[in-house]
Chain A
Amino acid sequence: MEENKTKKVSRMEFLKNLGRGALLLFLGITGGAALARVKKKPAVWQIDPAKCIQCGRCATECVLRVSAVKCVHNFSLCGYCNLCFGFFQAGQRELTSGGENQLCPTGAIKRKFVEYPYYEYTIIEKLCVGCGKCVKGCTAFGNGSLQLQVMHDRCKNCNECLIAKACAGKAFVRIPAEKAYITKEGRES
């Protein structure tokens, strides 16, 4: 009886070892196949401003509240217009920074006089929710210097970006992490 028992235990052990070996092999093959498909260069999500249609989903679809997408101002494109279509609501009474004239729902754009007739517009990033209302105005009637970008200090770089899934213009792209922003002139920093 005693001998029988030890034999049984060792058979169990043997089967376990066999199973472990087989599973290890299987894991190795799966891991190897997956590693072969790994993209070498680290990549991040970014919005291609040329494709962006300002549908407003960046503000609502992100897993973060507030969204990782913010409006940035590409000053080198800006016309420094007095009548800025990114800043003023349609049918504004006068060209002042009064709240009733502003387009931005959170008042995140600061308007500053530079010299006649030019005004500088700066995004207060803390207030920006990434709704893209200003971008829409600027793109439609202005130079398109206001644009939406994924800010990488906020973005979690989810492998399945929910905004990218919901993006109506298919403007979300993976780009190399070392050049993580796209301006209308091309890629930057």
Chain B
Amino acid sequence: MKVNYKRVLIGAIFLYLVASPVFGEYKFPPPEFDTNYLVPVMRTVPARADWLVYLDIFILIEVILLSAWASLKRRSRNIVMLISMFSLLYFGFYKEGCICPIGAVQDIVLSLTNPNYYLPFTAVLIFIIPLVASLFIGRAYCGGACPHGALQDLLLLKEIKIPRWLDRSLSMLAYIYLGLAVLFALTDSVFLICKYDPFVPIFRLTGPFYMLLNGGFFVLLSLFIGRPYCRFLCPYGALLKPLALVSREKVTITPDKCIVCKLCEDSCPFGAINKPDKPERRKAKNRLVVLGLFISGLIAGGVLGNYTGALLATYNRDVKLAVEIYAYSEGEPEKIILSDYAKEYIRTGESSLLLYEKVAGVKNKFKTGGIYLGVWIMFVMGLQFLYAARKPKRDIYEPDSARCMSCARCFRDCPIERQEKSTGDGSRKQE
């Protein structure tokens, strides 16, 4: 049998038009013009081309490797600065800081609990690549490739040294921030890291007022404190620190010829140089007491977290909606001014029981998450205290591999290194 394709097509179009609800909805049928007026088409702009995404990933890898080369092999602060300027321009002002590994943490976490979540390919790669790199070449990502870091680094005008104890205490905030961000992302409440990112509105040169305010505050802070966001808040830096601790390569100053002149410590704006130390033999601590304190701290954190979790849940939109719907259905409906969300929910006529059930699930997630969050915070704080109390024997000044961001300032200011460079060592030219 021969199929008349034309007829099938016309039939299909006819069926479509009849079945389409829109067709019947014309309140004013589109006119038939007598003049030769052409109906314009709706303006649409295509989305960003697909292959550009791969270009971004390629550039990211190149920049990380280049940054590592500049700080570990070529040992040139100028080249590191050039690379970070490029990153600031490309990943910062051109790409407008999005997508970045700092926020990608949340994508990964949310996709693990919500299979329907649209997880882009780039998010995974951009999250994993700097982490893997940090296992081998330290925090070269922070030093050269991160536009946030580059902006703060280049802004540093007049450094104010922060006492070591304050620096170490504030740096724990990053772990708390990371924990909170994971909790809020897991429950599909909000992406804290993205919402309160201080530098993205600066890259975009626009944004909501609270974002701009936040950005302005951090820009002011960066003028006097070396990389305040990186050191004290960056949740991705919090992940990179322990990885960089076991890194294969790390930044060295002049370990064999160190004359203990302290110049490198002065040059480091991030408090990342460890001083020489000769601890006298101390009395053995009662390890059982320390362990007991540590564990009871974890338990206390869990208990506190359980309560805070329930409080944090009120930030979730569904929870807010449920509270409103409950007040509406139980109280006097006339007296309550409903939000658009509640109005829309009532209009769709969904059962409120369904909502309550969903919200109970969200609240449970928050409570359990709160326990983990509390334990996590106490765990990190405990480790930090133990790490700070540990006093290894050290004869020279050397960079702390966890905190060092490969900015190359320390060996630029090292007199031994300068001498070596000026005496014309072939591979190390003078800057």
CA distance A162 to B25 in the complex (A): 32
- Residue B58 CB within 8 A of the other chain: no
Given contacts A35-B124, A168-B341, contact A152 B47 (CB under 8 A): yes
CB <8 Å contact, A53 and B340: yes
CA distance A41 to B199 in the complex (A): 30
- Residue A44 CB within 8 A of the other chain: yes
Q: Which chain B residues lie closer than 8 Å to A75 at the CB level? A: 39-42
Among all A-B residue pairs, the 3 with the closest Cβ atoms: A79-B28, A168-B340, A160-B191
- A102 CB → nearest B CB, Å: 20
- Residue A94 CB within 8 A of the other chain: no
- A15 CB → nearest B CB, Å: 8
- Residue B111 CB within 8 A of the other chain: yes
- B140 CB → nearest A CB, Å: 16
Q: Which chain B residues lie closer than 8 Å to A185 at the CB level? A: 20, 22
Interface residues on A, range: 35 or more
Q: Which chain B residues lie closer than 8 Å to A93 at the CB level? A: none
- Summarize B's interface: helix, strand, loop or mixed: loop
CB <8 Å contact, B246 and A63: no
- B165 CB → nearest A CB, Å: 27
CB <8 Å contact, A65 and B208: yes
Chain B residues with CB under 8 Å of chain A are 20, 22, 25-31, 33-35, 37, 39-48, 50, 53, 96, 98-99, 103, 106-108, 111-112, 115, 117-121, 123-124, 127-128, 131-132, 135-136, 190-191, 194-195, 200-201, 204, 206-208, 211, 242-243, 246-248, 317, 339-341, 343-344
CB <8 Å contact, B45 and A151: yes
CB <8 Å contact, B246 and A65: no
Q: Which chain B residues lie closer than 8 Å to A111 at the CB level? A: none
Q: Which chain B residues lie closer than 8 Å to A152 at the CB level? A: 45-48
Q: Which chain B residues lie closer than 8 Å to A64 at the CB level? A: 204, 206-207
CB <8 Å contact, A158 and B190: no
- Residue A126 CB within 8 A of the other chain: no
Q: Which chain A residues lie closer than 8 Å to B117 at the CB level? A: 37
- Residue A38 CB within 8 A of the other chain: yes
Q: List 21 A-B contacts (CB under 8 A).
A: A20-B136, A20-B247, A37-B112, A38-B121, A42-B53, A42-B120, A63-B211, A65-B208, A73-B43, A75-B40, A76-B41, A77-B30, A142-B27, A143-B27, A143-B30, A152-B46, A156-B204, A168-B344, A180-B46, A180-B47, A183-B42
CB <8 Å contact, A79 and B30: yes
CA distance A33 to B35 in the complex (A): 61
Chain A residues with CB under 8 Å of chain B are 16, 19-20, 23-24, 27, 30-31, 33-35, 37-39, 42-44, 53, 55, 57, 63-65, 72-81, 114-115, 118, 120, 122-123, 125, 141-144, 149, 151-153, 155-160, 162, 165, 168-170, 174, 177, 180-181, 183-185, 188-189
- B132 CB → nearest A CB, Å: 6
CB <8 Å contact, B35 and A31: no
CA distance A144 to B22 in the complex (A): 10
Q: Which chain A residues lie closer than 8 Å to B200 at the CB level? A: 63
- A129 CB → nearest B CB, Å: 13
CA distance A185 to B41 in the complex (A): 13
> Which chain A residue has the least Cβ–Cβ distance from B108?
A34
CB <8 Å contact, A65 and B206: yes
- B124 CB → nearest A CB, Å: 5
Q: Which chain B residues lie closer than 8 Å to A181 at the CB level? A: 42, 44
CB <8 Å contact, A159 and B99: yes
CA distance A123 to B341 in the complex (A): 29
CB <8 Å contact, B44 and A65: no
- A176 CB → nearest B CB, Å: 9
CB <8 Å contact, A180 and B44: yes
Other A-B contacts than A38-B119, A39-B119, A181-B44, 12 sampled, CB-CB below 8 A, are A24-B135, A30-B128, A31-B127, A34-B127, A38-B120, A42-B50, A55-B340, A75-B39, A75-B42, A143-B25, A157-B47, A168-B339
CB <8 Å contact, A44 and B246: no
Q: Which chain B residues lie closer than 8 Å to A153 at the CB level? A: 45
Q: Which chain A residues lie closer than 8 Å to B340 at the CB level? A: 53, 55, 57, 168
CB <8 Å contact, B107 and A159: yes
- B358 CB → nearest A CB, Å: 14
Identify which of B119, B208, B243 contacts A34 (C-beta below 8 A). Answer: B119
CA distance A36 to B285 in the complex (A): 48
Given contacts A19-B246, A79-B26, A168-B341, contact A37 B119 (CB under 8 A): yes
CB <8 Å contact, B246 and A16: yes
